[in-house]
Amino acid sequence: MSAGARNVRGVEEPDWPNLEHAYGPAGDVPALLDALVPDGTADVWDELWSRLCHQGTVYSASFAALPRLTEAAARWDPADRVMVLALAGAIVVGLEDDAPAERTTLHRLTSEALAAANDPDDTVYLLQALLAFEGVPFWGEHLERLAGQEFEAVCPGCETPLFVVLDYDGLGYFASDGDYVGGRTTPRAPLRPADAAALDGIGARLHTAFADRGFTGLAEYVRHLFGDTVCPACSHPFPVAPAVVETF
Question: Which of residues 66 and 6 earns the better pLDDT score?
Answer: 66
Distance between CA atoms of residues 26 and 227, nearest Å:
45
Taken in order 159, 194, 125, 59, the sign of the CA dihedral is negative
* pLDDT category of residue 3 using cuts at 50, 70 and 90: very low
Instruction: Find the mean pLDDT for residues 152-171.
Output: 96
Instruction: Find the mean pLDDT for residues 140-149.
Output: 96
pLDDT in tens, 177-226: 988 887 666 789 999 999 999 999 999 999 999 999 999 999 999 999 99
Q: How many CA atoms lie within 13 A of 191 on its CB side?
A: 30
206 to each of 57, 145, 175, 231, how far by Cα in Å? 26, 13, 21, 25
Instruction: Find the mean pLDDT for residues 98-106.
Output: 86
Q: What is the mean pLDDT of the chain?
A: 93
Instruction: Find the mean pLDDT for residues 137-144.
Output: 96
Distance between CA atoms of residues 162 and 191, nearest Å:
12
pLDDT at residue 21 greater than cutoff 90: yes
pLDDT in tens, 22-52: 999 999 999 999 999 999 999 999 999 999 9
pLDDT number for residue 98: 67
pLDDT at residue 5 greater than cutoff 90: no
Distance between CA atoms of residues 107 and 17, nearest Å:
29
Burial of 106 from C-beta contacts in 10 A (0-12 / 13-18 / 19+): buried
pTM of the model as a whole? 0.92
**N residues, the chain:** 248
pLDDT number for residue 97: 60
Say what percent of the chain tops pLDDT 70: 93
pLDDT at residue 117 greater than cutoff 90: yes
Taken in order 28, 21, 92, 38, the sign of the CA dihedral is positive
